[in-house]
Structure 1
Amino acid sequence: MIQFVDVTKTYTNGTTALNHVNLTFEQGEFVAVIGLSGAGKSTLIRCINRIHDITSGTIIVDKVDVAGLRGQHIRQFRRRIGMIFQSFNLVTRTTVINNVLVSFVPGLPIWRKVTGIFRREHKIKALEALDKVGILDKAFVRVDQLSGGQQQRVALARTLAQNPDIILADEPIASLDPVTARVVMDDFKRINKEMNISVIMNIHHVEIALEYADRIIGIRKGEVVFDGITSQVTQEILQDIYGGKWEAEKAAIEEQPAYVR
């Protein structure tokens, strides 16, 4: 489904975020990407849907060379890939359903984009997506009246409404409390299994990554230093992924306030 072939990403300031990365993701996998801040986790995910362009190498998604896409073809390609951010990226002054309906805007004629008038089928799909993440009852509530966990579930529903093959999640639970984080992770896991949607998640919470993901990719200084099933991950492997700083990293996470963890 997704293949990285000798991929390197170097930013204009000279920082090499990815260094000769070779990876293959199969359809339906739940993959967690872990490593220190600045290791290249977010860059890895954001290169898949061309938020970031790679410097060299090739990324293939379903036999399509992503780097070769231009204009409308990029937009069509991105329709197949849902993106979930830590910051939710919602319009807080409008209703939940309106935020989900945004996922249909790229395919609308100009007059519908201008007037904000959606077809009945779009509204039904939006409501179905909200039902899948358990917040159908919040459809006509303003987003700014929801909790952080509920807002992240709105973001997930918006992604589901576009019927993606892949969901990329960039630190989706970083701003949630531990209990709410697991509720959101339960949604990701259920969607992954029931809908066979690939989930590739950059996550700082290693214990949650090990609990929910089927496969772990460890990145250190832009290089993949571990790629294997969750049950293979040991304390020694974590030390290697975190450059010998695993115990300090673990302690720092545990010391953070609950709303950060």
Structure 2
Amino acid sequence: MIAFINVNKTYANGTTALNNINVSIEQGEFVAVIGLSGAGKSTLIRCINRMHDITDGQLLVDGVDVAKLKGKQIRRFRRRIGMIFQSFNLVTRATVINNVLVSLVPDLPMWRRVTGIFSSNQKLKALEALEKVGILDKAFIRVDQLSGGQQQRVALARTLAQSPDIILADEPIASLDPVTAKLVMDDFKRINQEMNISVIMNIHHVEIALEYADRIIGIRQGEVVFDGRAAEVTKDVLSYIYGGKMEEAAASAEERAFHVR
């Protein structure tokens, strides 16, 4: 379980990104975090794996006080949490399987890290992860030969190979065309349901959030202004979350997709 208890986050420049956040997320939930750009969506999910430190309050993951972790404790903790980015964060000149194997490097003894030699079991684990996202046939192809959607699936496979309990996704389909975006979202949904992995996703595409997520958290100016089932989200709720700027939000999402076409 993830629990935000009176959490605040203020950046060094004085900007308040999160204000008195109180949210609990159970294992296996699929949660979409929506709101205008700059509302605090990315900050919220990045606090979970300590990419950002909270300023006040308490953030617990299965009873672990995340803010109190140090050094190796943080690295071990992050092994349980996969992170998917909009930019994929892949080594494009390397093969698909080598990109997936990168997630297993922290578990290697030093001599394997230095030599880059992986065991047969680790290679099998990487191939199984690729099979789960439907691109096993691309295992030995260089990443720069793949489409954007296939690259995002490599990133998802890399995360699955580390056997996470939680997947955080920061605008994972923002740079994909609508057809490819739905295919990638199908992967997220299937993994969530079949493997009981919690998925917390920051997403600009409201209609896709409502279609795939079980639960919607709406953030406006750093505060949670809606937290409920996707089926409970109405036009009035969306207007409240976006402060009457739904058109601006839709245009922003469309602009992101346009830049990669």
1:160 aligns with 2:160: yes
Alignment partner, residue 108 of structure 2: 108
Give, in whole Å, the separation in 2 of the partners of 1:253 and 1:122.
38
Structure 2 counterpart of 1:26, which letter? Answer: E
Q: Contact (CA 8 Å) 2:174, 2:253: kept in 1 or not?
A: no
Alignment partner, residue 178 of structure 1: 178
Could you tell me how far 1:258 is from its partner in structure 2? 4.6
Structure 2 counterpart of 1:244, which letter? Answer: G
Give, in whole Å, the separation in 2 of the partners of 1:75 and 1:12.
24
Could you tell me how far 1:107 is from its partner in structure 2? 1.3
Q: TM-score, normalised by structure 2?
A: 0.97
User: Any residues of structure 2 matched to 1:10-21 within 5 Å, and which?
Assistant: 10-21=10-21
Q: Secondary structure at the match of 2:74?
A: helix
Structure 1 counterpart of 2:199, which letter? Answer: V
Q: Aligned residues: percent identity?
A: 78
Q: TM-score, normalised by structure 1?
A: 0.97
Give, in whole Å, the separation in 2 of the partners of 1:256 and 1:155.
19
Could you tell me how far 1:114 is from its partner in structure 2? 1.0
Q: Contact (CA 8 Å) 1:18, 1:43: kept in 2 or not?
A: yes
Structure 2 counterpart of 1:2, which letter? Answer: I
Q: Contact (CA 8 Å) 1:2, 1:62: kept in 2 or not?
A: yes
Give, in whole Å, the separation in 2 of the partners of 1:5 and 1:51.
18
Alignment partner, residue 65 of structure 2: 65
Q: Secondary structure at the match of 2:167?
A: strand
Alignment partner, residue 197 of structure 1: 197
Alignment partner, residue 121 of structure 1: 121
Change (3 A) 1:75 1:252: closer
RMSD over aligned Cα, in angstroms?
1.3
Could you tell me how far 1:247 is from its partner in structure 2? 3.4
Structure 2 counterpart of 1:145, which letter? Answer: Q
Q: Contact (CA 8 Å) 2:32, 2:215: kept in 1 or not?
A: yes
Change (3 A) 1:167 1:253: closer
Give, in whole Å, the separation in 2 of the partners of 1:255 and 1:12.
30
Change (3 A) 1:143 1:84: same
Q: Any gaps of 5 or more consecutive residues in structure 2?
A: none
